[in-house]
Amino acid sequence: MAETASLAGRRVSHYQVIEQIGAGGMGVVYRAHDERLDRDVALKVLPAGTLADESARKQFRREALALAKLNHPNIATIYDFDSQDGVDFLAMELIGGRPLNEKLRHGPLSERDVRSLGQQLAEGLAAAHEQNVIHRDLKPGNLFVTPDERLKILDFGLAKLRRPESDSEMTQSLETTAGGFSGTIPYMSPEQLRGQQPDPRSNIYAAGAVLYEMATGRRPFLQMQSAELMAAILQENPPSARTANRKLSPQLDSVIAKSLEKEPGRRYQTARELRVALEGQDGRRLEAPSRLRVYAAGGALGVLLFVGVGVVLKTRGRGGEGTDSGTAAGKHKSSSVRTTKTTTQRSIAMLKFRNTSGRPEEK
């Protein structure tokens, strides 16, 4: 990275590089100022030689073009892809906030937050899948959470552009071309570890691993060595998320478990299915109504009955004051209202409410 370590303070194309704000296996990220549009951007500079192969560079351009079509609030927007003096770079949306992995250093999130961020993750993935883009390095480090709790999917550097089956041109990934691995092992699906082509359900597995970590504060598999970790992903089921966090609802635990199924056919088949499952009851369990709610409902019903009886009495009273309108109230006697020429007696039936909450009444 010596070639890119000194870019701070330099000008790359029409971007004035300000400072380094991050680094990863696929490059260094800088804060830069777009002098043409007068805005700050994130400038990701790829290591020298990463795109030296012309076929790989063409593919990366295709992927950049595909990502540029993604216009979704849960996906970081890509503005530009270019090369200058042998330096290849991507200009993208500069996002405030912090990566999800930093947020998780303080422990698991509340169920409400897990569901909210999980739904946003699923929505962003659905938008990418609709454009045939598969993110192959989905992990907390590539997910940003803004100050207003909006999740943004970042780092599509390892993304794969899927072609329709009718398209004879098959797109290969950079890592496949280079003979390496694509992705981060703790979040890779079993089929990826077997060397099979990823599809949207591979992202569902990765999303399940992220959900597990958000809900428990730890990864599904804790083995430290890569060989042991890969074997566990391929052969073992992770402990239930509820085992690590007893506060977790059975509903959310079930959603996470289904996302982490070994066989793709047993997972949610689309990101939209995952989003719907996460919506559920928003973590609320269906319970028998409490005693307070029962009495509150009873009180409201009593008020309605009181008003209704009052209206009936008023109507019937008018009918008994010598009118010849022929109303039912004037012609029929009622057990609850007796009308004479001088007095009107009124009675109200009071209903007894039963405790249906299933809980004993407090003394």
pLDDT digits (tens, 9 = 90+) for 308-353: 545 444 445 554 444 444 433 344 444 443 444 444 455 545 445 4
**Count: domains in the chain:** 3
Is the model's pLDDT at 87 over the cut of 60? yes
Helices 111-130 & 250-259 angle (0-180, nearest 10): 30
Count the alpha carbons within 13 Å of 82 in the hemisphere toward its beta carbon.
11
Q: Does one domain contain both 205 and 191?
A: yes
- List active site positions: 137
More confident residue, 246 or 4: 246
Taking a C-beta distance cutoff of 8 angstroms, is the pair 28, 20 a contact?
yes
**Domain end point (choices 51, 77, 93):** 93
Domain that holds residue 32: 11-93
Taking a C-beta distance cutoff of 8 angstroms, is the pair 198, 134 a contact?
yes
Is residue 322 included in any domain, yes or no?
no
Q: Does one domain contain both 153 and 298?
A: no
**pLDDT for the residue 23:** 76
Is residue 284 included in any domain, yes or no?
no
Is the model's pLDDT at 258 over the cut of 50? yes
Considering 68-82, 202-216, 277-291, the range whose residues carry the highest mean pLDDT is: 202-216
The model's pTM is 0.69
Is residue 360 included in any domain, yes or no?
no
**Domain end point (choices 93, 119, 145):** 93
48-66 as b/e, with b when 16 or more CB fall inside 10 Å?
Answer: eebbeeeebeebbeebbeb
**pLDDT for the residue 62:** 67
Q: Does one domain contain both 128 and 73?
A: no
**Domain end point (choices 93, 128, 147):** 93
DSSP 75: B
Q: Average pLDDT of 159-163?
A: 53
